Amino acid sequence: MSKIASACVYCGTGHKVDQIYKDIAARLGQVMAESKVRLVYGGGRVGLMGIVSQACFAAGGEVVGIIPEHIQDKEVMNDDVTELHIVDSMHTRKKMMVDKSEGFIVLPGGFGTLDETFEILTWKYLGLHDKPIVFVNVDGFYDPLLKMVDHMVEVGFTPFWHRSLYQVVETPEDAIVALSAQTEHMQPDIKHL
């Protein structure tokens, strides 16, 4: 098991959410700092995105923010970062987040979180990367999504091995352990996609 040095966190920017989600985001930021795992994220300071980054930075962790210039006001750019990149587009942001990360942690979120997550899952099954992806299933938040994946497998739109593209855990501590637990490289069977 080799230790991961950096992880991209995908999460929501909404702030009108239950406290349990905010608490998990803060804990993840602290755990990443304590574990010396550099946080790579979307560069904003709103919602869970802001909470995880500020908690990591406050605990002495390294934080890399990547934000597109067209949304830096909407997502309120975060100055409490070790490194900040203002980029030209969402596509550039997502590619840079992948390039700067050795793994991915998915916290609860909305459309943007799902967009980033499904893109990185798709890239993995196409063999464009072989980095671990971990869902933190806070209070069963991702249960409906995981059920949908099962349904896609059952009806034939998704091969059964796609379930092995990711891991599901319940706590930030487990997420850090899971990042380093991927022992075998994926061998995508892309002829049967």
Rounded Cα distance between 23 and 27, Å, is: 6
Specify the pTM.
Answer: 0.92
Half-sphere exposure of 119 (CA within 13 A, CB side): 14
Domains, the chain, ordered by start: 6-192 (3.40.50.450)
Strand partners, 86: 67
Q: What is the chain's pLDDT, residue by residue, as a tens digit (193 residues)?
A: 568 999 999 999 988 999 999 999 999 999 999 999 999 999 888 899 999 999 999 999 999 999 988 876 565 666 788 899 999 999 999 999 999 999 999 999 999 999 999 999 999 999 999 999 999 999 999 999 999 999 999 999 999 999 999 999 999 999 999 998 865 555 555 555 4
